[in-house]
Amino acid sequence: MIDTSSGRADGLARCPSCGGTDIAYSLQQKALVCGHCRSAWNEPVLETEFGLDSSIAELRGHTMASGTQDVRDDLTQMTLKCQGCGAEVVINVDEQLHARCHWCRQHLSVNSQIPNGAVPDAVLPFQLTREEAIARIEEFAGKRRTFALGAFKNEFVPENVMGVYIPYLVVDGNLHAVVQGTGEVTTRQYTVSRKVGDRTVRETYYDADVYAVERAFDMLVNDLTVESSERYSAGAARGATTNVLNAVQPYDVHAAVVYNPNYLKGFTSERRDLNVRDVDDQVEEKFLAIARAKALPTISRYDRGVRWEQEGVGVRGTRWVSVAVPVWLYSYGQRNSQGTVDMVHYIAVNGRTGTTMGSVPVSHPKIFAASCAVGTVVGVIAAVIGVLAMFV
> Is there a single domain that holds both residue 95 and residue 114?
yes
CB 35 within 8 A of CB 23: yes
In a domain, 304, yes or no: yes
In a domain, 195, yes or no: no
CB 1 within 8 A of CB 69: yes
**C-alpha dihedral sign at 120, 123, 128, 129:** positive
Q: What is the pLDDT of residues 57-92, one digit of tens each?
A: 999 999 999 989 888 766 665 656 676 666 666 666
Taking the C-alpha atoms of residue 291 and residue 178, their distance in angstroms, rounded to an integer, is 8
> Is there a single domain that holds both residue 110 and residue 254?
yes
Number of alpha carbons in the 13 Å side-chain half-sphere of residue 218 = 8
| Overall average pLDDT of the 177-191 stretch | 97
In a domain, 149, yes or no: yes
> Is there a single domain that holds both residue 104 and residue 68?
yes
| Overall average pLDDT of the 250-267 stretch | 92
> Is there a single domain that holds both residue 352 and residue 367?
no
> Is there a single domain that holds both residue 233 and residue 375?
no
Domain count, the chain: 2
Q: What is the pLDDT of residue 243?
A: 79
Domain extent at residue 384:
362-392
Secondary structure of 64-103 as H, E, C letters? EEHHHCCCCCCCCEEEEECCCCCCEEEEECCCCCEEECCC
DSSP H/E element including 133: helix 130-142
CB 102 within 8 A of CB 90: no
Give strand pairing partners of 176: 218, 314
Residue 375 has pLDDT above 60, yes or no: no
Q: What is the pTM of this model?
A: 0.81
299-302: Cβ within 8 A, 24+ apart: 299/183, 299/213, 299/215, 301/183, 301/185, 302/183, 302/184, 302/185, 302/211, 302/213
User: What amino acid occupies position 264?
Assistant: L
